Every structure is written in C-alpha cells, then in structure tokens.
Amino acid sequence: MQCIVNRRAQFSASHRYWLPELSEYENNQRFGLCTRSPGHGHNYVLYVAIAGKLDRYGMVMNLSEVKQVIKREITSQLDYSCLNDAWSEFQQTLPTTENIARIIWQKLENHLPLVNIQLFEHPQLWADYQGNGMEAYLTISTHFSAAHRLAHPDLSYDENIEIYGKCARPNGHGHNYHLEVTVKGEVDSRTGMLVDLGALQSVIDEQVVEPFDHTFLNKDIAYFAEIVPTAENIAVRIQDLLRLPIEQLGATLHKIKLIESPNNSCEVYCTPLEATSTASNGVLTTV
C-alpha cells in the first residue's frame, strides 16, 4: 500500500534581499523594505512529505529517523542563522521562500523519498516544491467579508428553500471568507522569485478583496445578479478575475481555494488561458 507521510519541523532565521550588481535605488525598487540591512527574520514552518509502501511495522519510514535527517541536514544548519550566509546556494540565488524550499529538497532528496516540500514563511505566505527543476508554487492567503443569498432567479421561494435550505432566506447571511491563491512559475536563478510578490498581492487586492469585501454579493457584484453565489461559483469568478493579470506578471494561476466556513471549502484548479477552448476547470468542494 502506497502512503504519504508529512513530518513537521521549524526554524527561525533572517534573510535580506539585495543584489550587489544593482544600485541601491534598483534594489529598493525591486525588493522594497526587504533590502534593509542587516535583514529581517521569520519563524519558518516546514512540512516534509515522503511517500512509499508500508513496511511490516506499518510505516513508510521510521519517523524518528526522518526527524533526525531533517535536523541534521536542515534545521541544525538554518536555525538562528542568516540564510544569505548559511548555505552557498543562497550566494547565487536569493533565499526567497520558494527558493529555500527548492534547496531544502536538494539537501534531502538523497536521504528521503520526497514528494513535496512545503515551507511557510508566515501563515499568509508559503511555497511548495516537488522536484521539478526551477518550477515551484507560491500561495498567498487573504480574506474578505461578504453576505450572500443562495436562490436561483428562475425558481420560486419554496423551490429555492427546498434546494438551498436556510441559505435561501430573503435577507441573506454573511461569511468571513478565507481565500488562498496559488500561482506556479519558474524560480528566477538570481532573485529567487517566481513572481513579484508585491505585484501579486496588489492584483489580488485590486481584483478581489477590495471589490468583494463588505458587500452583499447578489446586489453589489453585477456578476452575481443572475449567478447564484455559492462558494463554488465565487471561486470560479475569482479565478476568472485573476488568471490574466497573474499571467501578465509572468506566473500561472494554479489554484483558488475558498474557505466559506470551518465546515465548507472549495478548490478550483485553473486551466491555462491557451487551453480554455478545450478544457474545463476542475472544482473540488469539501463539506
């Protein structure tokens, strides 16, 4: 039986974004506050995913051994370090979240049967790396608050109540929506970035958070005048709003995850723009 096991670890470290071949002005334009000397720090949380068949003891690997490998190869070297100086790899490519995840994979791949490295810089930003050259994934987490009513315009009140239950009540109800936007791209061999993080955050804010926050979706967002604003439909709309602006930044929108409540969430896996005529979006809903 094949099984995937995740092992959690953590380390605290500082880093600085600065390229010596650029002027001070150029560095500030590209990296903003992250250029400040001597740097800034994070409490990093690392998840190492390994896969394999279960042995006679019911394990993919002995987790004590996994823990020791991660400590020896990663956390003992990075904890309380300045990442720019900790490993030689960060002399060539800056220690961004996505590049740290990539280098951690390289350090562990000869010791563990890896399937994914996930590294949280903080709870609103993390990267995933799966051993595909310079390709990585970066996720930004944000939120907005909105009200909605689930009622199909072609159905009667009683019919809507039968389908949507309490959610069809005429005055609507609200949620604190939690949104995760995952993009895919190539890590730049010098900056360590797969996308300009500030520009990505601005796109998400401008296209989704500001227009949607503190609205009644059915009444304030024209798209939902005729489209029922279920979590699934909201996620699909967010995908449509973000896909082109993110491609213009040089990355690809990979996934939208919308958490409506602790009990309800939806994931939309996004189709590249050039494939939209032949493929449909994958929507996964968790209840």
Q: Catalytic residues, which ones?
A: 167, 214, 260
Q: Are 241 and 208 in contact (CB under 8 A)?
A: yes
